[in-house]
Every structure is written in C-alpha cells, then in structure tokens.
Structure 1
Amino acid sequence: MLGLMQRHPLLLSSIIIHAARHHGSAEVVSVMGDGGIHRTDYAGIERRARRLARVLQRLEARPGDRIATLAWNDHRHLELYYAVSGMGAVCHTVNPRLAQDDLAFIMNDAADTLLFADPGFAPLVAALAPQVPSLRAVVLLGDQAAMPALPLPAGIALHAYESLMDEAAEDYAWPAFDEETASALCYTSGTTGRPKGVLYSHRSAMLHAYASNTADAFGFRATDRVLVGAGMFHATGWAMPYCAPMAGAALVLPGRHLDGAALLRLLNAERVTFASAVPTIWLGVLQELERTGGRLETLRRVGSGGSAVPRMMFEELGRHGVTVQQAWGMTETSPLVTISAPLPAHAALPPEEAMRVRLKQGRVVCGADIRITDAEGAELPWDGVAFGDLQARGHWVAREYLNRGAEGAADAAGWFRTGDVATIDAAGFAEMVDRSKDVIKSGGEWISSIALENIAVSHPDVMEAAVIAARHPKWMERPLLLVVPKPGRQVTPEAVTALYAGQVASWWTPDAVLVLEELPHTATGKLNKLALRQQYQDHLLRGGERPA
C-alpha cells in the first residue's frame, strides 16, 4: 500500500525558489576582484538566475550539457549554480588552482560546451580554449566595459556576462524533471593520477543539503550569516551555497580574498556567525589575530575539514569564543559524511578527554554510513584501536566516476573505498589515521602522519607541519617531519622532537626534522605530500638522522 502524500521531484531550483519567496531580503554579499563589495539578496539572485537561464537558452545550452565555470565565490557564480542546474544542464565547477594540463584534461573529459570565467582568468582561458574542441562560447563574468583582450580560436564566441543579462527576460519558469538528473560535476584534485569526475544528481544534492543542515551538523538558521571560505569550485563549496539559502541565512562570499588580513576584516565587517574553510585558511586568520591583537566580534562557529584540524586551532579559536566543528568527507561524498558533534556521554568528560573526542572527525550524519575493513575486506571492530581502510556509502556517495566505468566504482553493496585509513570507536566516532598513500609503514608497523603533525603544530613557534614516509635502509620507511615556523619566529629540530616524549611510542618519533620556509599545497588547500615525497623521500638515505 502506498502513502497518499504529494510527490514533487527533489530539485535544486526549489531551494532558490524557497529562499526568494520566504527569505527574499536575506543578504548575499560578495567581495569582487577589486576588493569592492557587491550586495544583493535571494530575491535578486533568483530573478537573475531566471534571466541567466534565458541566456543559456540563447547560447543553445540543452539539458544534460556540461556548462563550465572558472570563477571565485561571488554572486555571479551563485547565479550560475542555480540557473545551470535549474534548467537541467550540469554545472561543472572547474578548479582554477589545478595545473593547466589537468584543466584541459577535465574540460575534455566533461565535454564542456560553454565556459563562464572570471575576467582575471582571461590568460588561462586563452591557453585552454584551443585545447577543448567541444567549447562553443566563453562568457566573461563582468560587463562590456571591463572586458580584457581575449584571443579565441575561430568558432568560439566571446560574450560579456552583463551584456547578455541585460538583453534577457525574467520570464523563465523553472521546469520539473527527474530528480536523478545530473546537477553538478566536480573533479578530484588529481594528486594520485588524472582528476576523476564526480557527477552529482539533484536528488543526492538535496538530500545532502538537508542532512548538512541538521542541528548536529551545520544547522543554519535564518539569523546566521554564513561565510563560504571553501571554494565553490570544490565539492560545490561544501554545499554551503545550498544550505544557507535553504535556511534563509545570509551568504558572505569572499571571492579570491582569502588571506588572513582580508578574511578577518570581512568576518567582522559583515557580522559573520559561521564560516567554513580548510585549516590552512584559519591558520592565516589566527596569525593575523596574533599580529594585530584583533578579535572576532561575531563569529561563533567554524566548520573545517579537508585535512585534520590541529589541536592548536581548536584552542586558539576557542580563546576567541569560537567553536570549531571538524567534519570529514571528500568530493566523492558531496562531501559531508561525518561531523564531530558531542553525545550525552561526552558531557562529563574531563577537558583532556573531551579534546581527544573533538580531534576526531566525528560520527555519521543520517543518510550515510561508514565501516573499516582489513586488507582482505573483512569488517573491523569499532573499538578505537583497530584501524583499516575506510569505506562509505549513502544517498550522496558516488557510485562510480564519470567515463571510468568499473574503475574506482563502489561495490555491489554500495561501499565506496575512500582511500583513508581510520579507526572507529565504540560511540561511532571516526578518526582518520592517514590517507592510505600517506601512512608510514616502519618495519611492518603503521605510524600515523596525522598524529605526528598534530603534535608538531602544538609547538608555539610552529605554523605548519607535514610528516612523510622517508626511505630507510633497515626499516623500509621512517617518519620525516618538515615544519614551517611562524612569521618572525625560530624553531629548532631538537625543540620539536622533544614534544614527542611521552605522547607517542618512542619508535614513532620522527627520525629527522627539517625547518623550511614554506610547504607546498594542492589545488584544494591541502598539504601536497606527493610533492614533498618526491623531494625529500631519500633524505634519510642521504645521511639524515634523528636529532639528539
């Protein structure tokens, strides 16, 4: 027997329709390329998204076409999010921080037909366009007066966004179609090979946004002002462009201005209450607070992930009255799967034990699930000790990659291999031990690089740390620690090595510590350990040894 309730397809257009109808005056604040502030609201975004849908029709976009964006976090990118997906096409958010060769590969793999790009990317577009034969037109996200010179191959038209918008009507009506229709396309960062396409559906994105907005997750309210520091080109900005308008919360979009000084000014000037970004971004904000003696006037919560959040970040932001929520996910999981939210049993924990819980990546949100397995695929116990390959499944977890068939696909039961190594405790809290490619296997025993990095950044003079597996003549692999001092500070290898005494088994202690001026990062802001391994993996073979 079936229920007697109405059935409407779960479509992303319903979010912006709701926001415009019920929270129309909620602000959308954008920092533009020149640092100026643009203000609109959800009613304005929805109207312009309908106008943009007419523009897409004029450019002969069809349902199912992949429409690429090469843009920062701003109101025009938000309009593209809703117009492209809302008309049944696929919003392909291209990460501008990827190497040009990778960008050409993913645009060809996606068979992009149109490209909407920030004018600042004109030189990159000029280099890419001849390599993408499916491309019919480029639209620069600005007005005609600000159009830079952009030579394009014959057959690829060039347009100014605002000129097209001025000529378009607002009479577009959002269509209804199958909720399993593809909505957006994001590619992995390609640190272990060519980037791979993750094709989201309207259904998966809607269910993910609902789950992300539950109280123990991000739980936005109409009174919140949400800064999206995660790139809208990366895993749909961690779904913040969907979650905030769903709740009627104001959106603050920082554009390309993500340095500590610019973010601190914006957080305070726009009275931001919640902000999302990878730990590297928050380390920059903390440095600026320390440098200026400033304060965070309205910020109360921070969502962070992408790499393990160091204890220092919890403690330093806590001194400013800010609670850090650590989450875990990946492009293939939309991204949210787990979030660190306390249970009743945690209320009475001593401070040190409570911090240990907060340092974990947390428990699963409803709609997804996780497990850990050994090398043979047998499920391991949730005892907080055993660690193995982390697998995930759920309504918003990838079944397979675009154009890859069975390569990297989930198994018959839906379990997707994440590439992370983790433990799960009896309360269901997952803790990432490492990426499978980063874990150190010393004499047959595993060492967690994440645990060693968290200890290193607890040193008051250390800004950032990375641990890699270095080749060793006896033990095969040993941990090598690379640290970057805070500006104006000095740090010695001996001082950092001393931190490990009593905190880890003695054989976990890094064999050597190198003090560097900076560490490389990937296109999504994570530490680029592949580059570090290529440069330093033979350091111990060349005579490096543990400091005295």
Structure 2
Amino acid sequence: MMQTPLVLTDFFNRAETYYANKEIISRTSETKIHRLTYGEWAKRTRKLAHALTKLGMTRGMKVGSFAWNQHRHLEAYFAVPCSGAVLHMVNIRLSEDDLRYIINHAEDEILIIDADLVPIIENIAADLTTVKHYIIMTDEDEVKTTLPNAYSYEQLLQEADETFSFPHDLEENEPAGMCYTSATTGKPKGVVYTHRGLVLHSMMLSMVDSMGIREADRTMPIVPMFHVNAWGIPFASVNVGASQVLVGPNFTPDIILDMIESEKVTLTAGVPTIWLGALQSLEEKPRDISSLRVICCGGSASPPHLIRAFEEKYQVPYISVYGMTETTPIVALSNYQSWMNEWAMDEKVAVRTTQGMTMPCITSSIINENGEVPWDGETMGELRLRGPWISHEYYKDERTADAYRDGWLYTGDIAVRTKDGLIKITDRTKDLIKSGGEWISSVDLENALMSHPAIFEAAVIAVPHAKWQERPLACVVLKEGETATKEELYHILEPLFAKWWLPDDIVFLDEIPKTSVGKFLKAKLRDNVAQFYPQI
C-alpha cells in the first residue's frame, strides 16, 4: 500500500476542488451575517497562511486563536496546520490567570483575536512573554487597540497571495492543533492533536453509525470552536463539503433557533444547558426546526424529559455523545442499534441517556479493583480508553503520569456497561459519593430530579458526614416563574432509589456554577454550600 500521510491539507484541497460553490454562513455580530462559498473561503485561507508566513510563522510554531465560531476562525483552522504550524484554540471563557498561564505555557507567538474580545487580551498582554504579533478579526475598517504589533486581519489578507502553496512534505504525526482542559481542578492541561488523529476522527464523524456528517448537511456546532475543535465538526464538514452555519458571538436560544429555521440546519451540537434553553424558547415561541435530522449533545448527562421532548414532540433524534479534551474528542455516541427498533419509548430514552457505544478504532475498558466490570448496568468502575485519536500525554506537564498508564488514558469517569455494551457515566471519580462504604451516583439522582417540570437544573454533591463519611446534597434551580417544594421532589426520588441514596437535604439556588464550557463546577458548588453544611 502507498504510505500516504493523513493530513488536513487533503481536506482543504478536496473542498476547494469539489465544493467551491457550497456555502458558509457566518454571523459575526448582532447585525452582520457573511455568506461566502468554499471557493472564496479557500482563497482567503491561502491568503491568511501567506500573511502569517510573512509575519514569521514557521513549522511547529504555536499560533493562538481567541475567537467565536465564525468564518475567519474556520480559515485559521486550516491556514495554520496546513502550513505546518500548530493552532492553539484558546478558551475565551477562562480566567485571566488561566489565560496568562496557557498562552505562555503553549508559547504562542501570534494571537488571532476577535475584535470584541480584544479588551481581555489587552488586560494581560504585558504578561504574555512569547507573543510577538496580534491580529484583530473585525468587520470594521480600522483597528483600535493598545496591543503592540497589532494588525487588521482583513488588511493583511488584502496584501497577501491567494495562490500561496502549502508545504507538500507534512507528516501525519506532526502536531496540527492544541487545546487546554477547562481547569476544574488545578491549572489547565495542554493536549496536542496530530494531523493523523484529526483526519481519522473526522472520518469517524462521517460514518452513518456516528454523526453521519455528509455533503447534504448544513452543520451548526454550538459547541465553541475554541473548545476541543468544536467536537471536530468543522474539520469533518470541510472534508465532505457540508455547508456550515457559524453562530458567532453572544448567541442566545432565540438566535440559535432562528438560525436553525432560516438556514435549514440539519445537524447541530452543544451541551445540555443549550438545549434546555432552546426547548424553553421553543415552547414560548415556536419555530420550524423540521430541517434538523439530529441534535448531538455532550459535556454532561441530558435529563430524560429533554430527550423525550425533542424526539417525541419535535421528531428530532437527540444523540448523546461522549468525549474529552484528551480524546479529540468523540469516542462514543448513543445511536440506536438495529435490535432496539421495536423497543418502547422509555427503553429508547434510557439508551439516549447513556454515552452510547464505543466508536470503531477506539477500545474502551471499565475496570475496578476486581478487574473488568460485568455488563450488568450496575457494577461501577473507571473508564479507560485507547485509540488513534486518543492523546498519549499532556503537553509539558508532569501530571501525564496520573492519567496515562500502561498504554491507556484513565478518564477519571466512573461508568457502568449495560447488557448491550453501552457506556453509562455515573460520575467523576472526584464527584462520586461514598456513603457508609457504598457508592451513590450523583448523575442518576440529578436525572431523576430533572423529571420534575419545574426544575431547570439539578446538581448533587457530596458533603461530609460524621457517621457515613459522605452524604448526598441536592442543589436545584427552578425555571423562571415555577415553584416546587422539597416534599414534591422527595416524592419523585423515593420510589426510584434505596432510602440511603436519598439526599439528606434539597436546596434551591439561583444558579449552579459552571465551567467555561457549561459543565457543572461541583468543586465550587461544594465550597459555596460548605458554610451551611460543614457536616450533615
């Protein structure tokens, strides 16, 4: 067989050659939507690569992007790695301390920044030790900033060559991109993605039993392009020539739904909080979302009532996906298998609440002190993974040894395996509740609480207990204008769980703290309630 390297340049060339007339729709402000073809995008991408090269971009150099989901970010997604450099997608929602750390730790030399995010970088620029140039992405003619060596993105492109040629000697194991974890504990950890890993991951996303991304799709990732490659959807979409709808800055549930309706989006993806808000907006102001063939949801568990609403009322398949920054990220999806076709709706919803079946080329294993857990849907263990798009270390970080052992990535997720081989995450190792020597799954309790129609969000945490070591405490947020009592919520839980599983108390909060990508930040939640529950 020919030893042809798997590189992103092939994706770019394919879109430029076969799909030059396909469309990219990019919202860059409240009032501005750009419409360009893949042909126009390809010329702009070559120009960007030429402009960056003139500024000193070299093979292996880190180029940071600090941007929303929009067409200029998509240009950087290919201009940088196809030139042999590394695109570091910087999470715009991290704290200033974390931003200083990761930009310096990655040794970014060029930063490409969305105009409305420039003040954030201006605040920390004096502490950025490696950055030499700042490029501002804006629709305006002028760039106003205190940043040194700042350039207008569009001005650079005007002066660049649209026929710029990418190098022909890229190797598939060269780094192409990198992201940092969202820092639930300690400093963020860097993960580097190779061309090979991104290519194989993208091809997996195009499989029918995965997301099935295809030429006829109009994809709209709500998951940010600054977070784990927007789950790889932009790369896969370019490869197959799918039209892309990029939702831009400061989006709301109304904006998401309006764009799904107006642009006839067929595939979209985001975390559960996005779809909880969208469902509420749909109930208040109906839209036509019939173009959707699938909603992909990950990041945390989706409550059954949310899944059922989209699948039954709106006839839109709602697929749970599982992955991590360390896994590029998708490794499992909750698609129905053929033997499930005649199952009752309750059984099908139960499938969607799992993280699904491991994708081809990925090996998953759930182990505890007794070895591999049985497929009984009950016995818990830690999920570990290996495969061609699973990272093998953290970037320049001694914490590598904690997660990568014996050829496996130990995810820190506690899971069970169902009789059908599906992975079901029950908790994180640091969030699992151990009461009197027995494990309690916070996720199962959260999903049950979410079945109450008045509950918007629910998080269950462990608090210290003098006798039982730890006990569960439930924290809930009500939907606006709704009411509920503790008695009502206990009435839901009591038939479903053993008495010792029941939370010792249920507290009502205005909001639950979240990470930069919308996951519950249970460490902070525990700190917030510790003053009231030093020991139950």
Using the size of structure 1 for normalisation, the TM-score is 0.95
2:404 and 2:535 map into 1 onto residues whose CA distance is 42
**2:117 paired residue number:** 121
Q: How many positions carry a matched residue from both structures?
A: 533
**2:364 paired residue number:** 370
Structure 2: gaps of 5 or more residues? none
**1:109 paired residue number:** 105
1:287 and 1:464 map into 2 onto residues whose CA distance is 13
Structure 1: gaps of 5 or more residues? 544-548
CA contact (8 A) 2:110 2:132 kept: yes
CA contact (8 A) 2:377 2:417 kept: yes
**2:146 paired residue number:** 151
Aligned 1:161-310 pairs, distance under 5 A: 161-176=153-168, 177-310=170-303
Per-residue CA deviation, residues 164-219 of structure 1 (Å, 9 max, x unaligned), is 00000112112221110000010000111100000000001101111121101110
CA contact (8 A) 1:144 1:163 kept: no
Task: Indicate the SS of the match to 1:453.
Answer: helix
Mean alpha-carbon deviation: is it higher for 94-103 or for 244-253? 244-253
Out of 388, 412, 415, which is 1:419 matched to?
A: 412
Aligned CA RMSD, in angstroms, stands at: 1.5
Alpha carbons of structure 1 residues 455 and 295: separation in structure 2 relative to 1, 3 Å: farther
Per-residue CA deviation, residues 285-314 of structure 1 (Å, 9 max, x unaligned), is 111011224442322310010101111111
1:296 and 1:515 map into 2 onto residues whose CA distance is 33
Same amino acid, percent of matched pairs? 37
Per-residue CA deviation, residues 297-335 of structure 1 (Å, 9 max, x unaligned), is 322310010101111111111211111010111000001
Out of 33, 54, 69, which is 2:50 matched to?
A: 54
CA contact (8 A) 2:27 2:248 kept: yes
Q: Which runs of 4+ in 1 moved over 4 A?
A: none
Alpha carbons of structure 1 residues 114 and 101: separation in structure 2 relative to 1, 3 Å: same
Out of 78, 82, 87, which is 2:74 matched to?
A: 78
1:14 and 1:143 map into 2 onto residues whose CA distance is 30
Matched, 1:331 2:292: no
**2:426 paired residue number:** 433
1:201 and 1:82 map into 2 onto residues whose CA distance is 13
CA contact (8 A) 1:16 1:42 kept: no
Mean alpha-carbon deviation: is it higher for 254-263 or for 175-184? 254-263
Alpha carbons of structure 1 residues 434 and 409: separation in structure 2 relative to 1, 3 Å: closer
Out of 13, 38, 57, which is 2:34 matched to?
A: 38
CA positional deviation for 1:471 = 1.6
1:241 and 1:438 map into 2 onto residues whose CA distance is 32
CA positional deviation for 1:8 = 2.1
CA positional deviation for 1:354 = 2.4
1:494 and 1:433 map into 2 onto residues whose CA distance is 25
Aligned 1:14-33 pairs, distance under 5 A: 14-33=10-29
The one-letter code matched in structure 2 to 1:338 is A
Task: Indicate the SS of the match to 1:145.
Answer: coil
Per-residue CA deviation, residues 356-380 of structure 1 (Å, 9 max, x unaligned), is 222111011111111011147x332
Alpha carbons of structure 1 residues 181 and 214: separation in structure 2 relative to 1, 3 Å: same
Alpha carbons of structure 1 residues 58 and 130: separation in structure 2 relative to 1, 3 Å: same
CA contact (8 A) 2:373 2:417 kept: no
Matched, 1:8 2:1: no
The one-letter code matched in structure 1 to 2:106 is A
CA positional deviation for 1:6 = 3.1
CA contact (8 A) 1:137 1:157 kept: yes
CA contact (8 A) 2:464 2:535 kept: no
The one-letter code matched in structure 2 to 1:328 is Y
CA positional deviation for 1:522 = 0.6
Mean alpha-carbon deviation: is it higher for 85-94 or for 168-177? 168-177
CA positional deviation for 1:83 = 0.1
Per-residue CA deviation, residues 83-103 of structure 1 (Å, 9 max, x unaligned), is 001000000000010011001
CA positional deviation for 1:349 = 2.3
Alpha carbons of structure 1 residues 109 and 286: separation in structure 2 relative to 1, 3 Å: same
CA contact (8 A) 1:468 1:480 kept: yes
CA contact (8 A) 2:308 2:349 kept: no
Per-residue CA deviation, residues 212-258 of structure 1 (Å, 9 max, x unaligned), is 21101110221111111000000000001111122211110101243
CA contact (8 A) 1:183 1:199 kept: yes
**1:459 paired residue number:** 452
